[in-house]
Structure 1
């Protein structure tokens, strides 16, 4: 089955190569940058015996405090089952605990433990060289510019911060 797509002349097809001018070029570059950053972060977290998905939940818990499990889904961009598995892991390892929410017996909030906060801080110490490794090929000042541009891009997606 073929969709009814208007026939137009394609001026540039996506290649993912440097210099790609297709409408997909920026998205492809952001995807590759994400892969590179995720690989570096995974390497840093590996000796701490956690994965990026676990760190992402810990990050939310440090930033927001006790957080309802359903809110972790939205905050981490994961699905419900994935967040449940991560929280199960964190709880089993003593890094987080589930607690009842006063006034709503159905809702459980996840809270980081002192041991979880200790591991979170250890990850930051281990990651001191992270930014330098990720932006080693940039000129002075470009790292800050890139951070600013990405922050604006993310904010434009979700509205004013």
Structure 2
């Protein structure tokens, strides 16, 4: 199926430029960077018996404290069913617990346990050398600059969180 998109006679064609000049290049580059970072961080978590999806929830719980499941889903980019499976896994491992939310009989807040905090700390210790290897090719100050740029890119000023 071909779209009938008119091309003006003076317009250049997308095929006339190199791939990195494509408006899609940034997204593809960010995807490659994500895959590389995710693979390295998964290596740090593997001996601890959890996956990145579990650790993402633990990060939110450490940062925010007890958090309602729907807010966990939004904070981690998960859907309702996916977050329930992750929280189920964390509960089975004794890393998190669900608690009733006062005033809302249907809502459950998730809270990290002391065992979850221990695992969270252990994961950070294991991740330090791997994280350093991710930025080994960058010069002095560039890892911090990269974090700043990505933070501003991901969370633009004035955008809804």
RMSD over aligned Cα atoms = 2.2
Unaligned stretches of 5+ in structure 1? none
TM-score (norm 1): 0.89
* Aligned partners of 2:41 and 2:131 also within 8 Å: no
What is the CA–CA distance in structure 2 between the aligned matches of 1:133 and 1:12, rounded to whole Å? 36
1:159: Cα distance to partner?
2.1
TM-score (norm 2): 0.89
* Residue 14 to residue 40, structure 1, CA distance change in 2 (3 Å): farther
Does residue 11 in structure 1 map to residue 14 in structure 2?
yes
Higher relative contact order (CA 8 A, sep 6+): 2
Aligned with 1:129: secondary structure? Answer: helix
The answer for the alignment partner of 1:94 in structure 2 is 94
Corresponding residue pairs, total: 158
1:79: Cα distance to partner?
1.0
The answer for the alignment partner of 1:44 in structure 2 is 44
The answer for the alignment partner of 1:80 in structure 2 is 80
The answer for the alignment partner of 2:123 in structure 1 is 123
The answer for the alignment partner of 1:107 in structure 2 is 107
Unaligned stretches of 5+ in structure 2? none
What is the CA–CA distance in structure 2 between the aligned matches of 1:94 and 1:119, rounded to whole Å? 10
* Residue 14 to residue 96, structure 1, CA distance change in 2 (3 Å): farther
Q: Higher Cα Rg: structure 1 or 2?
A: 2
The answer for the alignment partner of 1:55 in structure 2 is 55
* Aligned partners of 1:14 and 1:23 also within 8 Å: no
What is the CA–CA distance in structure 2 between the aligned matches of 1:10 and 1:48, rounded to whole Å? 50
1:6: Cα distance to partner?
4.0
What is the CA–CA distance in structure 2 between the aligned matches of 1:6 and 1:38, rounded to whole Å? 41
Aligned with 1:146: secondary structure? Answer: helix
What is the CA–CA distance in structure 1 between the aligned matches of 2:116 and 2:42, rounded to whole Å? 17
What is the CA–CA distance in structure 2 between the aligned matches of 1:26 and 1:13, rounded to whole Å? 18
